[in-house]
């Protein structure tokens, strides 16, 4: 699905499309690659980092990695824009994370 805005103008005996502004017509952002987890010295915090940037990323966590995503048991942790990293507070002995890219 594309969202292009333009003006139809009649000139030179033909119709032409004149875009009003530049629009990125990429339909889906690229998924995060090379996601790494670092346990920080600050108790109960981890840092998630990935290579590609430039989108909004939402990070979800769950205690059970076998539950399909999306599912209501996945907890929304945070959202970051145009960054390739996020720091998350931890609770419990283990957590599993999913990083989702959005337009």
For the chain, the domains span 26-102
Confidence of residue 98 (pLDDT cuts 50, 70, 90): confident
**DSSP 8-state code for residue 74:** S
pLDDT above 60: residue 75: yes
**pLDDT at residue 43, rounded to an integer:** 76
pLDDT above 60: residue 60: yes
Q: What is the mean pLDDT of residues 8-31?
A: 54
pLDDT above 70 as % of the chain: 69
Closest CA to 2 of 36, 101, 19, 94: 19
Task: Supply the CATH classification number for the domain 26-102.
Answer: 2.60.40.10
pLDDT in tens, 34-51: 888 888 888 788 898 888
> In angstroms, rounded to a whole number, what is the distance separating the alpha carbons of residues 31 and 99?
8
- Cα-based torsion angle of the residue sequence 28, 34, 35, 37 in order, rounded to the nearest 10 degrees: -170
């Amino acid at each position: 699905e594309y969202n292009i805005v333009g003006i139809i103008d009649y000139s030179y005996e033909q119709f032409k499309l004149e875009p009003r502004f530049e629009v990125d017509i990429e339909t889906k952002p690229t998924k995060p690659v090379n996601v790494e987890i670092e346990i920080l010295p600050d108790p109960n915090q981890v840092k998630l980092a990935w290579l590609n940037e430039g989108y909004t990323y939402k990070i979800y966590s769950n205690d059970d990695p076998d539950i399909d995503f999306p599912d209501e048991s996945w907890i929304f942790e945070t959202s970051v824009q145009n960054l390739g990293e996020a720091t998350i507070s931890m609770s419990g002995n283990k957590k599993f994370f999913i990083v989702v890219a959005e337009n």
